[in-house]
A and B are shown apart, each in its own frame.
Chain A
Amino acid sequence: MIANLPPGLILLVGAVIAPFLQGRLRSVFMLALPLLGILQLTQLDPGNYGAMELFGFDLVHVRVDKLSLVFGYIFYIAAFLGIIYALHKDDRLEETAALAYVGAAIGATFAGDFITLFVYWELTAITSVFIVWAGRSPRAYKAGQRYLIIQITSGVLLAAGAIVRANEVGSITFDNIGLDSPGGLLILLAFGIKAAFPFLHNWLQDSYPEASETGTVFLSAFTTKLAVYALARGFAGTEELIWIGVTMTAFPIFYAVIENDLRRVLAYSLNNQVGFMVAGVGIGTELALNGAVAHAFAHILYKALLLMSMGAVLHRTGTVKGSELGGLYKTMPWTLGFCIVGSASISAFPLFSGFVTKTMILAAAAEQGLVVPYLVLLFASAGVFHHSGIKIPFFAFFAHDSGKRPQEAPMNMLIAMGLTAALSIGIGVYPAPLYALLPFPVNYVPYTLSHVVTDLQLLMFSALAFSVLQRTGLYPPELRSTVLDFDWLYRKPAVWVSRTVSKWLSERLAGIYRDLTGVVQNIIKATFRHHGPEGLMARTNAVGGSVAVIIAMLTIFILVFYWQV
């Protein structure tokens, strides 16, 4: 019976019921929902379900195939872990929003047509903004408003694209779309906003760090990965995506390096990791698509793990500013351990999940002879290790001692982190079950000598770079005294280049931003002048004036008619 329900509905219904339950019953109820959902997925047979007709189009409410199933599974797993992680809280707004949000995201992955997709797509936007608002600060409120506008815009673009496409090809089935039509372009733009393509990405770093420590864990898992799913479904093998993805992997690194808020650092690295997936989708071979999907799977886990560890720090100390933290390893050893597992996974250390998935994308790029993308992806991998693998644990738990001696994280957080860490290591050590879930058969062997050696070389050089930068004084001041003689050669140009580039970039961006703001403000001012309460369009004129308008209109009508005949 359960197999007949649309996937995702369990969570949506659960979201309606959960707020009315109390205490432990509610916890048990909420934990049972994703488990029930996973059970349902195991019962589903591939095929289309829930067909109905609307506006003369055939809707396919549920389409089950390997691609949608793998995303369904990981979304439910992430929901389960996120719920455990949030058990110590009693925030009904956030919980309800999170359940509905995940339900909508799962519904979207199983949508077989654009109308259904659009409904769930907007539903994820509307539900997730409440998670941002549950941060309950004025900043969170403002960030949430900006977030909502952008997400809704994505939905509107999707709807517009779907209508245009329906008009062109007469079908609303959600399959490979391609870019050869204006409809496809609009849809890509809609997906691109959710995937946080370069220059469409700001909503992510803007809003995610403003949610609560538990809310961010939920937010990080679904929206961008839903977009990756949609891209894999609709735009596999679209060459432009390779370059978009490659850009995404590279450019957030610069921001991540200079950012102080550690959760925002993770938001930038999220952006960078999604870049790998987008590039994989763009390459479009079976290996690359498998890689992109597998990487999304692994990424959801280790990104959640990293955000959970930072959330635990935030929960205990009230801050995640790199400059205010340090020395926490003394009292939060478990959190540190889990954080390092997450770091190792995101950095793709052998035996951790990132390794068995990211190398698939790299291998696919190499196989297709895409030299430049391959090199950029390598560079980006090094960058990830640098800011997520080292910077996060280093600044939070080591660095200079901040004197803070917080308690270890609450038990439920530790359990959630432990489970996530176990999954991350499990995938890294024994990837076969994950590979079995992937859309195409996997012939890829991750642990070959050349993969491991390339990867370790990369990681070691990156670690070297971090140490060098540390000691050149680009990082905290207490290491400034121990400058080594030989590295001035690297130091001077490195520092100069990075400073100049980042200065130039930020000035340009600020300039463009200023110009744009100015233009928008002028438009609003002009609109207000004519449309404000005292403006021409809105003020209450004398009756005589109104009658004059009427006469004018009649005259125009009659003159035009006369002239026509």
Chain B
Amino acid sequence: MSVLLSAHLPALQVVLPLISAPLCVLFRRAGATWLIALIVSWASLGISILLLEQVIANGPISYLLGSWAAPWGIEYKVDMLSAFVMLIVTSIGSISMVFAPNSVNAEIPEDRIYLFYTMYLLTFCGLLGITITGDAFNLFVFLEISSLSSYVLISLGAERNALTAALRYLILGTVGATFYIIGVGLMYQMTGTLNMSDLAERLPAVAETRTILVALGFVTVGIGLKLGLFPVHVWLPNAYAYAPSVVTAFLAATATKVAVYALLRIYFSVFGTKIFAALPIDEFLLLLSLVAILSMSAVAIFQKNAKRLLAYSSVAQVGYMIIGISMVSVTGLTATILHLFNHAMIKGALFLVLAAVFFRIKSVKIEDMAGLGRMMPFSMAAFVVAGFSLVGVPLTVGFVSKWYLILGALEKGWWPVAGLILVSSLLAVIYFWKVIEVAYFKERPAEIGAISEVPAVMLIPMWVLVGANIYFGINTGLSVGAASAAAKLLIGGAP
């Protein structure tokens, strides 16, 4: 790789999907647009890996867009945390694009498929942009790019409900983004800067003012909306349930993770840990997320639609991540960042299985899944393994996350919290088992004909993710190493 190209990798990471999106509109043919999306996704994955290597070798990268010096110009920053999150987003994107064509062709009308890939690329671009930017306002721009395009993606769902779900998400998502920008505006008013590092330097001087506190409130609620924080998660279940299957898999594994990333950035890189000492934010977040992990798991138990079930489970899992943040400790943040990665593997795999199920039986109602254990042995086996991981069985990534989370809770002496995390895992056993019971222990009604396993091109991506669940559950070197390095970076102070 030439020096020139490698120096511009941060810009390329965002520009590549951004310019290929209109290219898709020009081509319009389903096959061609898929190919573009596929190539761009894998190229971005390659860039992510290169960036991560650069960060490990040489420390954080600062890239000045258009060579305008920060804080006036826009600065892209790649450190351990952002490189790690980009790796999550791009690997999930690459895998779901391999999986996509069959599922997309079956669920979306032929003449709209190019829109799907266009919007996918824009969402992808937005998510990567949020992760890479070092500028608070630029983050808002990418937040809107990813949000607007994901509204379109969701509305492409086959059922009419997809439209109302998308509209709901649009209204609430816009409220969230507006709150965020109001918060950023207030900060700008007090400090005169939008660059995150610069903000971190100037904020302490004005930290005690009410303007900044109000800004913090707006930003917390705004990003909280995007990441599915209880009780402002209400857009999420329907959006996940009615979106096209591949979209659900992609968004569930990446969008909320990137929002959690944004929260981490604002809290730890911009405001710094001092705000937790001064204000009861951590207690607040802890309380909300404890309710989330219990209440949302309970809601999941009573769901009849497997996608909605997993959607509520996602809200509960986001709760785990926020609990980690509320600990304000290296172990807690390690657990949060680790769970970003691990939960992406888990939910990605589970939603891909549901996409395969929908591909065959045109339904993801739990009752319709009777007997699938025999009809689709490989898909359902993937569901079982990924489900174990969700519950936190050892040798899977889910266990590693919970281990660190509980370790963090015990470090703080939060016994009841550790207990509630275990209780919530038991609830996860129940809702996950509901699906298994129907799939494996109920006979398929005779009047519905036999169905066959999905083709290998769908099975392989699914099992790659399942394999990752096991691999990173045993060999925790990369994930835990990156997560704890990122956590130390955040707790240490400004990036």
B425 touches A (CB below 8 Å) = yes
Q: Please determine whether B426 and A156 come into contact, CB atoms closer than 8 angstroms.
A: yes
Q: A115-B394, A163-B406 are contacts. A550–B232 as well, Cβ < 8 Å?
A: yes
Q: Please determine whether A119 and B394 come into contact, CB atoms closer than 8 angstroms.
A: yes
The docked-state distance in angstroms from the alpha carbon of A149 to that of B237 is 28
Q: A122-B393, A533-B302 are contacts. A558–B217 as well, Cβ < 8 Å?
A: yes
* Residue ranges of A at the interface with B (Cβ–Cβ < 8 Å): 54-55, 115, 118-119, 122, 141, 149, 152-153, 156, 159-160, 163-164, 167, 527-528, 531-533, 535, 537-538, 540-541, 543, 546-547, 549-550, 553-554, 557-558, 560-562, 564-565
Which residues in chain B, 361-415, are within 8 Å of chain A measured between CB atoms?
393-395, 400, 403-404, 406-407, 410-411
Which residues in chain B, 262-280, are within 8 Å of chain A measured between CB atoms?
278-280
Residues on the B chain within 8 Å of A553, using CB:
221, 224, 231-232
Residues on the B chain within 8 Å of A55, using CB:
400, 403-404, 407, 476, 480
Task: From the candidates A163, A528, A562, A565, name the one contacting B410 in the complex (CB within 8 A).
Answer: A163
Residue of A nearest to B421 (CB): A160
B463 touches A (CB below 8 Å) = no
Q: Please determine whether A557 and B220 come into contact, CB atoms closer than 8 angstroms.
A: yes
Q: Please determine whether B218 and A532 come into contact, CB atoms closer than 8 angstroms.
A: no
Residues on the A chain within 8 Å of B175, using CB:
547, 550
Residues on the B chain within 8 Å of A164, using CB:
410
B304 touches A (CB below 8 Å) = yes
Determine how close the nearest CB of chain A comes to the CB of B371; give it in whole angstroms. Answer: 15
- Across chains A and B, which 9 residue pairs bring their CB atoms closest together, nearest first? A557-B217, A561-B213, A531-B298, A167-B410, A558-B217, A531-B299, A538-B299, A532-B302, A546-B234
The docked-state distance in angstroms from the alpha carbon of A119 to that of B400 is 13
Determine how close the nearest CB of chain A comes to the CB of B240; give it in whole angstroms. Answer: 13
Residues on the B chain within 8 Å of A163, using CB:
403, 406-407, 410, 418
Q: Please determine whether B441 and A141 come into contact, CB atoms closer than 8 angstroms.
A: yes
Q: Please determine whether B394 and A118 come into contact, CB atoms closer than 8 angstroms.
A: yes
Q: A163-B403, A561-B213, A564-B279 are contacts. A550–B299 as well, Cβ < 8 Å?
A: no
Name the prevailing secondary structure of the A interface residues: helix
9 A-B residue pairs with Cβ-Cβ distance under 8 Å, sorted by A, are A122-B394, A160-B406, A160-B419, A531-B298, A533-B302, A537-B295, A550-B221, A557-B220, A561-B217
Question: Which of A55, A156, A553 has the most C-beta atoms of chain B within 10 angstroms of its own C-beta?
Answer: A553
Residues on the B chain within 8 Å of A149, using CB:
429
The docked-state distance in angstroms from the alpha carbon of A128 to that of B406 is 28
Residues on the B chain within 8 Å of A540, using CB:
234, 237-238
B160 touches A (CB below 8 Å) = no
Q: A55-B403, A119-B394, A565-B213 are contacts. A528–B425 as well, Cβ < 8 Å?
A: no
With A156-B422, A565-B278 already in contact, 9 other A-B pairs whose C-beta atoms are closer than 8 Å: A153-B426, A163-B407, A531-B298, A535-B299, A537-B298, A538-B237, A554-B218, A561-B216, A565-B213
Residues on the A chain within 8 Å of B395, using CB:
119
Residues on the B chain within 8 Å of A560, using CB:
279-280, 284
The docked-state distance in angstroms from the alpha carbon of A538 to that of B298 is 10
Q: Please determine whether A554 and B208 come into contact, CB atoms closer than 8 angstroms.
A: no
Residues on the B chain within 8 Å of A564, using CB:
278-280
Which residues in chain B, 226-251, are within 8 Å of chain A measured between CB atoms?
231-232, 234-235, 237-238
Determine how close the nearest CB of chain B comes to the CB of A394; give it in whole angstroms. Answer: 39
The docked-state distance in angstroms from the alpha carbon of A535 to that of B179 is 29
Q: Please determine whether B217 and A554 come into contact, CB atoms closer than 8 angstroms.
A: yes
Residues on the B chain within 8 Å of A543, using CB:
168, 171-172
The docked-state distance in angstroms from the alpha carbon of A49 to that of B298 is 43
Question: Which of B296, B304, B410 has the most C-beta atoms of chain A within 10 angstroms of its own C-beta?
Answer: B410
Q: Please determine whether A527 and B429 come into contact, CB atoms closer than 8 angstroms.
A: no
Q: Please determine whether A54 and B476 come into contact, CB atoms closer than 8 angstroms.
A: yes
B458 touches A (CB below 8 Å) = no
Question: Which of A540, A541, A561, A562 has the most C-beta atoms of chain B within 10 angstroms of its own C-beta?
Answer: A561
B303 touches A (CB below 8 Å) = yes
Residue of A nearest to B176 (CB): A550
Q: Please determine whether A554 and B280 come into contact, CB atoms closer than 8 angstroms.
A: no
Determine how close the nearest CB of chain A comes to the CB of B387; give it in whole angstroms. Answer: 13
Residues on the A chain within 8 Å of B210, using CB:
561-562, 565
B345 touches A (CB below 8 Å) = no
Residues on the B chain within 8 Å of A160, using CB:
406, 418-419, 422
Q: Please determine whether A557 and B221 come into contact, CB atoms closer than 8 angstroms.
A: yes
Residues on the A chain within 8 Å of B480, using CB:
55
B214 touches A (CB below 8 Å) = yes
Q: Please determine whether A557 and B284 come into contact, CB atoms closer than 8 angstroms.
A: yes
The docked-state distance in angstroms from the alpha carbon of A207 to that of B89 is 46
B301 touches A (CB below 8 Å) = yes
Residues on the B chain within 8 Å of A531, using CB:
295, 298-299, 301-302
Residues on the A chain within 8 Å of B295, using CB:
531, 537
Determine how close the nearest CB of chain B comes to the CB of A215; give it in whole angstroms. Answer: 18
Residue of A nearest to B440 (CB): A133
